[in-house]
Chains A and B, each alone.
Chain A
Amino acid sequence: MIQIDHVSKTFAGTQALADCTLTIDDGAFFVLIGPSGCGKSTLLRTINGLIAPDTGTIRVRGKDIATEDPERLRQSIGYVIQSVGLFPHWTVAANIAAVPQLMRWDKGKIARRVDEIVALLRIDPALLPRYPHQLSGGQRQRIGVARALAAGPDLILMDEPFSALDPVSRVELQAEMRRVHAESKTTIVMVTHDVGEALSLATTLAIMRAGRIIQIGTPAAVVGAPADDFVAQFLGGPERFLHLLDVLSVGAAMSAEPPSGAMPRIATSASLRAALSLMMAEGAQALAVGDGDGASVGTLRLDAIVAASHA
């Protein structure tokens, strides 16, 4: 989907990006993470041409974006920012319809698409005639995401989209993005400085520092084998493995061994964190794993949780 090739950028003598090269696959949930000022937002904004690199090339869908019409390119890429940036004089419905409107879809098609998006993101239809200042922060960002998805882009860029939200809204919207990504196979590139958020959402993770990409890999690979001390410390030092408990599901660690009747039950889709917590609550070393219909499909043992983070 995206090839970033030897991209560098200097702002007023400060090197924001230093020879960044990476490839983002179709359908990836790619998370750029690093301390503030590391260049992750700058890198994100080169992808839709908001920032032009000094050197290097960026290809989106195989085409060098320097040769593309920047407005067309941006209309084909969803864009979500931390401060949301809803248009204050437009209703929620008009905000969601912004890009289809720019692309001159006909009215009926826009109305149908708005209805689809409202259903997809579980937006209360009563909000549609309201104005942004009448919404809560969480509602606003949900509309911001809806606006980015409205024209059905196959690529969405998100710049710290949930950093300013209260914890409840943040977790809700993270779950929403995970679901949207799983259902639509849209490629998502997200910038965050929140390690937990990065590890729980990413299929691939890139860690940046001082304008350079330090390491790229799956969350488990990066946590398991950090490239250097900086990465290990940034991910949480010796406690970084605990993040994996959120990322890995019971299904990934269980064995097919039939459970004994006395074991507490847990679903295959539950996180290992939930499983470990249940073990602690019940004083159990093993759990019976059940599928959605209540049938037992296997057993999860404490040592399997420990082993899973090295899989």
Chain B
Amino acid sequence: MPERSGRRGRLAAAGAFSLALIALVVAMPAFRPGLHQLFPELREPIYARASFVTLTIAHLQLVAIATGFAAAAGIAIGIAVTREAGRAFAPLARTVGTIGQTFPPVAVLALAVPLLGYGSAPTLAALSIYAALPVLEATLSGLGAVPADARDAAKGLGFSAWTMLWVIELPLAWPLMLTGLRNATIINVGTATIGSSVGALSLGSPILEGLSASNPAFVIEGAVVVALLAITIDRWFDVLEDMTPVI
């Protein structure tokens, strides 16, 4: 049964990374002696303004909310421009999507601050807009890959447009859409760190503090946790994709 052992392996990997992440975040203070030896010149080798548990939870919140908005917007726009009434806007959506992704997220953040002030609001806005693009692209590709003959048959057999969308198009587009969501989430895990430059609490806080105060230990701590978080979430998406039937 190669399939089942593959699934078990994926679950095991996701679980192991999750445990490693929790252990690292909770036990961060225990690394003080080791880091002290590594960076003897530093007075304080562990970022202490907020605990890493707090930072990680705040970071996850930013990612979850922004990805939620991004998914809702990307999927809704993707569906809208593939309906008969919205088809005229499909090229525009694609172009905006492609150009949007060439924009550095820092620039979006800089533009959002004057409008939304400092804190998590501009960060959420920047992350949502930025992550909506891969979701939009994936939704367009997924819906575009639905076989034309299945759509013709469904329409001819009397499916309404909504029923066709729910029971034929979205289920067939879902594997590609899930890949888009995965990309969006992983991008957000990394990009959320820059939110700390405009005052949002995230795992970017120790990194930025470390950079400005010449404290490489802070940078390493933040970066390692972000990396582990990204890998862990990626592994869980792997489990999710594996559970999605591919026809």
Q: Which residues of A contact B (CB under 8 A)?
A: 45, 48, 50, 70-76, 79, 81, 83-89, 98-99, 102, 131, 133, 144, 147-148, 157
- Point out the residue from A45, A75, A83 that lies within 8 Å of B157, measured CB to CB: A75
Q: For residue B152, which residues in chain A have a CB less than 8 angstroms away from its CB?
A: 81, 83, 85
Q: What 17 additional pairs, Cβ within 8 angstroms, besides A84-B149, A144-B153?
A: A48-B156, A71-B159, A73-B158, A74-B155, A79-B153, A79-B156, A81-B152, A84-B153, A85-B147, A85-B149, A87-B168, A88-B147, A89-B172, A98-B154, A98-B157, A102-B163, A148-B157
Alpha-carbon separation in the docked complex, A85 to B151 (Å): 7
**Known A-B contacts A85-B152, A88-B147, A131-B247; A71 and B171 likewise in contact (beta carbons under 8 Å):** no
| A81 & B149 in contact (Cβ 8 Å cutoff) | yes
* Residues of chain A lying within 8 A (CB to CB) of residue B157: 74-75, 79, 98-99, 102, 147-148
B245 lies within 8 A of chain A by Cβ: yes
A73 to B247, CA, bound (A): 31
The answer on a CB contact under 8 Å between B156 and A74 is: yes
B245 contact set on A, CB distance < 8 A: 89
Q: Cβ of B160 < 8 Å from any Cβ of A?
A: yes
Per the bound structure, the CA–CA distance linking A86 and B149 in Å amounts to: 8
Contact yes or no, A87 B154, CB < 8 A: yes
A89, B153: Cβ atoms closer than 8 Å? no
Q: Please give me the residue from chain A that is nearest to B246 by CB atom.
A: A89
Q: How far is the CB of A100 from chain B (nearest CB, A)?
A: 11
- Contact check, B149 vs A83: say whether CB atoms are below 8 A apart: yes
Q: Hey, which chain B residues are within 8 Å of A147, CB to CB? A: 153, 157
Closest Cβ–Cβ distance, residue B244 to chain A (whole Å): 10
The verdict on B150 contacting chain A, using a C-beta distance below 8 Å, is: yes
Contact across chains for B158 and A71 when beta carbons are under 8 A apart: yes
CB neighbours of A72 from chain B (8 A) = 158
A-B complex: 3 closest residue pairs judged by Cβ atoms: A85-B153, A75-B158, A74-B158
Which residues from A are CB-within-8-Å of B151? 85
Say how far B168's CB is from chain A's closest CB, in angstroms.
6
Interface centre among A102, A133, A147, A157 (most CB of B within 10 A): A102
